Amino acid sequence: MANKPLTLLPTGYKSSCSVTASNHTQREKICTENMGETLGDRIGLSDEVINAAASLAMKAHDCTGKPFLRKKGLPVTVFAFAGSWLPDDWCAQPPFGETKMDTSNFPSLKSLGDDGVALVNGSFLRRFNAIQSSLAKKVKKVIGEKKQVVFTGYSSGAPVAILATLYLLEKSEPNQSPPRCVTFGSPLVGDRIFCHAVRREKWSDHFIHFVMRYDVIPRIMLGPSSTEHKQILDLFNPGSESFRKHTDSSLGLYSSVMRNASMVANYDACNFMGCKIPALETLRNFIELSPYRPFGTYIFFSGSGKPVVVRNPNAVLQMLFYYAQWSQEEDAEAAKKGLNEHLAYQLKKLQSLGKQNVVYLDHLEELPVSSDGSPATVNTTLNDLGLSTQAMLCLQATGELEKRKSRNQDKIINDYKQKIEGELRKLSKYKEKAETCGLGYYDSFKLQEKEDDFQANVSRLVLAGYWDEMMEMLKAYELPDEFEKSHDFIRLGTDYRRTVEPLDIANFYRHAKDEETGFYVNKGTRPKRYRYIQNWLEHAEKKPSGSRSESCFWAEVEDLRIKTRSNGSSPEIKQKVQQLGQNLIKWIDDESLGKDVLLENSTFVKWWKPLPPEPLFTSKMIFFLSVCKILFPVLNM
């Protein structure tokens, strides 16, 4: 057909599932149908609430003068948001209209590794910000009544519902019933970091997205804003002369959206398959791809009307492209469907959810690429989806990626963790031995005069290898998104950082690297693994960035030693010295820093004692009195 969307099969990728495999039990796990269990049972929302949400979402979308509607009389309270067909309310800044997420309202929507902030559609964020205050008052009242909140939206009202849900999740108390979000025909809202952060926080299951098979709107943000986008919106806009008027150009409009979806889906497929297609790489150099990606649970409607549930976000992206494919004979009809189906979310298919069998696409790594050897139930379901062999391969690869992430995590838990703990025990003994000799382990390591110092350096390097490999896995999204929230690894990482970073600092100043690169904590100097792990702890404790910098204490000491020699009378330096003293009291008190820093021959004490008494006399007196109370609690009266 003319303007057929681009589809490319990555070279070098081999299916991990034999097309002639006969293990029916394994295959039946892939496509499971509920027997007596409703969709609402599985997703934790009753059919009554889902249909009420659909009805209110459609009503609110076209409601003029009210930014949102509220429905009571259910076990939950439903809020639905108004929509808009104006192009600026979809993308105000071409090509994609993305902006950095507001971290004051959405502190979790960021990457913990490099502090990269999630990108979100700026027009959708602006519309949410406009109603945030009035919405918060209404929601607070509902929460006070101990009722669960469900946010919903249709079309461009859906992104506002998504942002409202995330906002409330950020603010929710542990004993509070978390909000839910149900969308219908929603455009994509955020980028890959957005998706990663939602999964890391274990919020993904709070979001349910209903999508009709050919609906153009859930795919529209995969392409840049253009005249064609405006023409599509005009077809849905009751105030436009083009409202619901299908013309010969409809096919071209729909095909344009699908071509953009094709490029994004194929590019991502190549990345998670570990393959390279020269044509795509060349295109990537000249064409900016959409940053938007799906997240949450998607419920697609198949040819027979059976809802198909997909939770894997990479698989959802592939489904958004491949599931909307059509034959050449269906050109005009498919384009018309793509525009008409966006208006069909309150029709019979959705209203009879409780009576339908539901297909769950799980264990995608075992998805057969052909019907040979598959059980009849699997064949029927896959045939109903109408997916090509290439689509099956891409979906299979998304499942394999998740399986690979789990294998990597198992390797870390079953192998690396034990080895890391073993090396940390060695360094703990090294630290104790150094203290008995009257010299803290920082200073002992810096001198490098004994065999123990050499062995400690070996442990430092071995540990760096393990943690650097983990950081590379995280950077490449080769570990489960939830890994960074693991309490065990936050604790282990914190122990590692507090124990080993002082040795890195000692090595840094022993070799006078500060003369080449400047202060240790300067950007690009401090190893990324320590910044990454520190971010884990600060995020878990909901503390400001940089507040857990106790492992950099010795770097602060070394830097101030140099600066007080050359410019000690500077008000800025005096303030930093006082701040260091205050931090030291706090860190020793909460045991995040060892008391060995106060040994008589430590670098810190040797530098601190001779400091001029004025204007630091008062702070020095307070400091040493506080330290005495910490070291000798019997003196506390």
pLDDT of 570-596, one tens digit each? 888 888 888 898 899 889 889 999 888
Give the per-residue pLDDT at 178: 93
Asked if pLDDT for residue 180 goes beyond 70, the answer is yes
Residue 3 contacts residue 383 (beta carbons within 8 Å) = no
Question: Domain ranges in the chain?
Answer: 39-387, 403-548, 563-636
Give the per-residue pLDDT at 167: 97
pLDDT digits (tens, 9 = 90+) for 147-164: 999 999 999 999 999 999
Give the per-residue pLDDT at 34: 56
What size, in residues, is the chain? 637
Span 486-505, average pLDDT: 97
Give the per-residue pLDDT at 25: 46
Burial string for 526-540 (b: 16+ CB within 10 Å, else e) reads bbebbbbbbbbbbbb
Report how far residue 222's alpha carbon sits from residue 554's, in angstroms, rounded to the nearest whole number: 49
Give the per-residue pLDDT at 48: 87
Asked if pLDDT for residue 17 goes beyond 50, the answer is no
Calculate the average pLDDT of the chain. 85
Span 16-33, average pLDDT: 48
Question: What does residue 239 show for φ and ψ, rounded to 5 degrees?
Answer: -90, 0
Asked if pLDDT for residue 7 goes beyond 60, the answer is no
Give the per-residue pLDDT at 356: 67
Which run of H or E residues covers position 248?
Answer: none
Which run of H or E residues covers position 628?
Answer: helix 613-631
Asked if pLDDT for residue 449 goes beyond 60, the answer is yes
Give the per-residue pLDDT at 372: 59
Which run of H or E residues covers position 297?
Answer: strand 297-301
Give the per-residue pLDDT at 287: 84
Q: How far is CA 43 from the centre of its chain?
A: 21
Give the per-residue pLDDT at 157: 97
| Domain 39-387, CATH | 3.40.50
Asked if pLDDT for residue 522 goes beyond 70, the answer is yes
Give the per-residue pLDDT at 615: 47
- Distance of CA 609 to CAs 317, 606, 616, 625, 631, Å? 63, 6, 11, 14, 18
Q: Kindly give, in sequence order, each residue whose CB lies less than 8 Å from that of residue 50, ignoring residues fewer than 6 positions away.
A: 39, 40, 182, 208, 350, 353
Q: State what percent of residues in the chain have pLDDT above 70.
A: 83
Tell me which of 8-22, 85-99, 107-121, 431-445 is least confident.
8-22
Question: What is the largest distance, in Å, between two alpha-carbon atoms of the chain?
Answer: 91
Report how far residue 322's alpha carbon sits from residue 299's, in angstroms, rounded to the nearest whole number: 15
* Residues with catalytic roles: 155, 215, 342
Taking the alpha carbons of 444, 449, 455, 461 in that order, is the dihedral positive or negative? positive
Report how far residue 251's alpha carbon sits from residue 78's, in angstroms, rounded to the nearest whole number: 37
pLDDT digits (tens, 9 = 90+) for 334-386: 778 888 889 888 665 565 666 667 788 888 988 877 655 555 555 566 677 77
**Confidence band of 549 (pLDDT split at 50, 70, 90):** very high
Asked if pLDDT for residue 292 goes beyond 80, the answer is yes
pLDDT digits (tens, 9 = 90+) for 219-264: 999 999 988 889 899 989 888 888 877 666 777 888 889 999 999 9
